[in-house]
Amino acid sequence: MTNIIKKQTGAAFRIKKGQRLKVTDPEGQQVSDMVLFNAEDTREKISSGKTLDFEESILISRGNFLWSNRSRKMMEILEDTNGRNDFLLAPCSPETFQIMYNNPHYHPSCFENLYTNLSQYDIAPDDIPTAFNIFMNVQFDKNGKLSVDPPLSKPGDFVLFEAKMDLIVALTACSAEDSNNGSFKPILYEVMD
Amino acid sequence: MTNIIKKQTGAAFRIKKGQRLKVTDPEGQQVSDMVLFNAEDTREKISSGKTLDFEESILISRGNFLWSNRSRKMMEILEDTNGRNDFLLAPCSPETFQIMYNNPHYHPSCFENLYTNLSQYDIAPDDIPTAFNIFMNVQFDKNGKLSVDPPLSKPGDFVLFEAKMDLIVALTACSAEDSNNGSFKPILYEVMD
């Protein structure tokens, strides 16, 4: 069954070890932030620092694993038709729009969409780590300067993950203008045995 | 007063908003991992994702701020005589040596030295985020491939920070062979009004 995450919203759900998760960008140029928690003990969670360390790469794609703060494998990336994901930048939050966009008004954010959907699992805002930013196109130069460019994903591009433990997964359809080339679109996901 | 962190150990202490912290590599080629917590509410802590996002750079040095998971400034870097620090990789942990060094035996680690020193503040191992790795020389190529090279720091190199809120600070003299060119040395720190 394909589930739709409407533009600028999110979802959270459980998947079992061995199940696969397919995250699809149906219209192209749309980012999805993903965080993972051990379903049996949510103090264990996805870790950018551990993943970049064990995978020895800033770019994480097919063949790489996503690791937890307890140095255990949470997911493997089986397929990645786009091939560009970010694991450097935190989910956009209300402060992102205040500080980086100079926008003092309310703005939907991945951070809000993650914590509101994760509250059913007793996961608090402060518990949310740096997300794995699927389809996000963060470029870096040799001096480390970062730029957020339009996603390279085309309609129908997807990333296929396999769970290596029972997981709580949260996903968003990202709410930040600069990350999605200025327009907001849905994200699709499917859980398969 | 200059405090000595002996090789392969750590320390934790409080500093007040406005105080400065000087971290010195007395012998050269020695990394120090640093984590920060809001002294009033330790659920607020240093965030690599927020820092790289707001500072728009992988490399963090003089003039940059270290940001919290609540999007607030924790420290400013006033001086950095070496100029190379890492904010990508997690602190070395027992699993680092098992998985990356293929060493099944006990090995001291920054992770252990952080959590044992932070336990006095009721901060648990799972609460420790990706550290700011002072003097650590992580190189990346245009494809995102990471390598841990010998530190570029010379004897006496230091980084000077200013606290932007009351903080609990933990520091180590890093225990990983590859990060310190194969030998373990002390780290010095000084808190100044």
pLDDT digits (tens, 9 = 90+) for A5-46: 999 999 999 999 999 999 999 999 999 999 999 999 999 999
**Nearest-angstrom CA–CA distance, B158 and B153:** 8
Residues of A in contact with B131 (CB under 8 A): 49
**Nearest-angstrom CA–CA distance, B38 and B70:** 10
pLDDT value at residue A93: 94
What would the pLDDT profile of A127-171 be if each residue is shown by its tens digit? 999 999 999 999 999 999 999 999 999 999 999 999 999 999 999
C-alpha distances in Å from residue B171, one per residue of A136, B10, B115, B190: 33, 6, 11, 12
Number of residues that make up chain A: 193
Q: Does the distance separating the beta carbons of B145 and A53 come in below 8 Å?
A: no
Domain that holds residue A151: 2-192
Most B CBs within 10 Å: which of A34, A40, A58, as the mutation test of the B interface? A58
Task: Tell me which residues of chain B have a C-beta less than 8 Å from any C-beta of chain A.
Answer: 43-44, 47-50, 52-54, 56-59, 69-71, 88-91, 93, 95-96, 99-100, 124, 126, 128-131, 140, 142-147
Question: Among partner residues A89, A143, A147, which is closest to B52 by beta-carbon distance?
Answer: A89
The residue type found at B33 is D
C-alpha distances in Å from residue A107, one per residue of A81, A100, B157: 31, 13, 43
Residues of A in contact with B128 (CB under 8 A): 69
Q: Does the distance separating the beta carbons of A57 and B146 come in below 8 Å?
A: yes
> For residues B162 and B78, is the Cβ–Cβ distance under 8 A?
yes
Question: Chains A and B: how many Cβ contacts under 8 Å?
Answer: 109
Task: Tell me which residues of chain A have a C-beta less than 8 Å from any C-beta of chain B.
Answer: 43-44, 47-50, 52-54, 56-59, 69-71, 88-91, 93, 95-96, 99-100, 124, 126, 128-131, 140, 142-147
pLDDT value at residue A97: 94
Q: Does the distance separating the beta carbons of A89 and B49 come in below 8 Å?
A: yes
Question: Among partner residues A49, A57, A99, which is closest to B144 by beta-carbon distance?
Answer: A57
Nearest-Cα distance to chain A for B1, in Å, is: 33
Residue written as token pair 């699809």: A24
pLDDT value at residue B35: 98
Residue of chain B nearest A43, judged by CA positions = B126
Residues of B in contact with A100 (CB under 8 A): 53-54
pLDDT value at residue A193: 95
Angle, vertex CA B172, rays to CA B170 and CA B178, nearest 5: 140
Q: Token pair for residue B192?
A: 């100044």
Mean pLDDT of B31-52: 98
Among positive and negative, which fits the CA dihedral A107, A110, A111, A117? positive
Confidence class for position A172, pLDDT limits 50, 70, 90: very high
Q: Is B122 helix (H, G, I), strand (E, B) or coil?
A: coil
Question: Among partner residues B52, B71, B95, which is closest to A146 by beta-carbon distance?
Answer: B52
Residues of A in contact with B96 (CB under 8 A): 53, 71
Q: Token pair for residue B183?
A: 């030998």
Q: Could you give the number of structural domains in chain A?
A: 1
Question: Among partner residues B53, B88, B128, which is closest to A89 by beta-carbon distance?
Answer: B53
**Nearest-angstrom CA–CA distance, A134 and A173:** 10
Nearest-Cα distance to chain B for A39, in Å, is: 15
Mean pLDDT of B88-93: 96
> For residues A32 and A25, is the Cβ–Cβ distance under 8 A?
yes
Residues of A in contact with B140 (CB under 8 A): 58, 140, 144
> For residues A127 and A42, is the Cβ–Cβ distance under 8 A?
yes
pLDDT value at residue A18: 98
The residue type found at A115 is Y
Question: Among partner residues A88, A144, A145, which is closest to B49 by beta-carbon distance?
Answer: A88
Q: Which ranges in chain B belong to alpha helices (H)? A: 48-55, 94-99, 110-118
Mean pLDDT of B40-61: 98
Mean pLDDT of B25-49: 98
Give the percent of chain A with pLDDT over 90: 98
